[in-house]
Copies of this chain bind each other. A is one copy, B any other.
Amino acid sequence: MRQERAARIKDVARIAGVSTATVSRTLSNPDIVSEETRRSVLAAVKATRYSANVAARNLRRQQAGGVLALAPNLANPFFSEILAGMSEALAERRLNLIVADTQFGGSSQLVQYADRSRADGLLILDSRLDPALFAGAQCPPIVQVCEEIEGLQSPRVVADNAGGAAAAVAHLVELGHTRIARLAGPPDNSLTRWRDAGFRRGMDAAGLSGRGDWHLTGDFSMESGRTAAARLLALPDRPSAIVCDNDEMACGLMSALIRSGIDIPGDIAVAGFDDIELSRHLTPTLTTVHQPRRRIGREAVRQLLLAIDGADVAERTVIPCTLVPRQSTLGREALSDQAAS
């Protein structure tokens, strides 16, 4: 039972009684060969279970056969659904998605990838990367996704972060809140900055002004939401509502507030951002801003493929977000036993 060698294009050609060029043509551009030839080649392909050697094809075509996604944290469900959308969209073009976690290996590893022979394109999801990494002449086309790196010129596909944050504020205002706090992400993060702008826009529209001591900061982790709760509770003059820059912080915050005997939304209403699956299953369920993550991933790939093909690409594609009102602002009665919406 020795291991049989994989068939090469030569083998297929011999069996089909044609040249290797014809086999290649049949496979990549079936319309330009005669029907008879096509039939015999395809039969030979099937008989030999032939599948083209990827390295040889890529070498010849001077391409990499895959796209690299740089994400700050693979273990984060927010990114993973975007990656799933990317993977899906790339498969249609028979391109691989190679995923690198920027937490490891450091930039020394990453710089390797900013090279056409390794990746036909780059999808960058981490705004903390140094733009200099991608400055080389041989860097493949780039699309930035969700986050934005200052000083790296490339098309961007982002959610409507400002609009989402403004909608969250408007929702609270409509419920009668005027004392609205904010739990922001890291100040140097582009998401934070856009959501900041939206928050202020929403406040302005309602004639409200933000208060400095009601501006808390976290790092997008549940843990930082937990610690923010302590700071919130220590305030002499508490807000009646708080808008968080993501669901995970909102989750950590709510959980700590509840443990301290605070009623949500009775004492403090809470809104998040992202609409991760969890948000529907918290108690109370979390009002949040839904980002269509799969669609963002697909759209980013679409733009990248355009760029790879040398077509014109929108400098900035903004994907709309939608507010999803749930119990953490409406109260339990409003939606009591309703299924996830």
Q: Which residues of A contact B (CB under 8 A)?
A: 3-6, 49, 51-56, 58-59, 63-66, 73-77, 79-81, 83-84, 87-88, 91, 96-101, 103-105, 109, 112, 115-118, 136-138, 222-223, 226, 251-252, 254-255, 258-259, 277-278, 280-283, 332, 336-337, 340
Contacts and interface: CB of A to CB of B under 8 A. Distances in A.
How many copies of the chain does the oligomer comprise?
Answer: 2
Contact of A278 (B65, B104, B118, B278): B278
Contact of A96 (B81, B98, B332): B98
Interface-central residue, A5, A98, A117, by most chain B CB under 10 Å: A117
A6 B116 contact: yes
Contacts of A98: 66, 96-99
Contacts of A277: 222
A75 B66 contact: no
Contacts of A259: 283, 332, 336-337
A251 B137 contact: no
A222 B281 contact: yes
B101 A87 contact: yes
B54 A64 contact: yes
A145 B84 CA distance: 20
A96 B137 CA distance: 23
A295 B53 CA distance: 33
A105 B226 CA distance: 40
A53 to B, nearest CB: 4
Nearest to A99: B99
A54 B100 CA distance: 17
Contacts of A226: 281
A251 B104 contact: no
Contact of A112 (B51, B59, B77): B51
A7 B276 CA distance: 45
B81 A138 contact: no
B282 A49 contact: no
A6 B100 contact: no
Considering the complex of A and B, which 4 residue pairs feature the smallest CB-CB distances, nearest first? A55-B58, A55-B59, A75-B81, A74-B84
